[in-house]
Amino acid sequence: MKLALALIAAYGSSVSAFSVSRSQTPHYRVSTELDASRARDKKASRSTWAESRGYGATAVADAESGAAAGLLTNEEGLEYVRLQNDSGDTSDVYLFGGVVTSYVKDGQEYIAVRPDAKMDGSKPISGGLSHCWPQVGVFAELANTR
Report which DSSP code applies to 142. P
Measured in degrees and rounded to the nearest 5, phi and psi for residue 144 equal: 65, 25
Ramachandran region, residue 55 (left: φ > 0; alpha: ψ -120 to 50; beta: rest): alpha
Confidence of residue 89 (pLDDT cuts 50, 70, 90): very high
> 3-class DSSP state for residue 26?
coil
**pTM (two decimals):** 0.48
For residues 91 and 81, give the distance between their C-alpha atoms in angstroms, rounded to a whole number: 8
Mean pLDDT, residues 77-104: 90
C-alpha dihedral (44, 45, 46, 47), degrees to nearest 10: 50
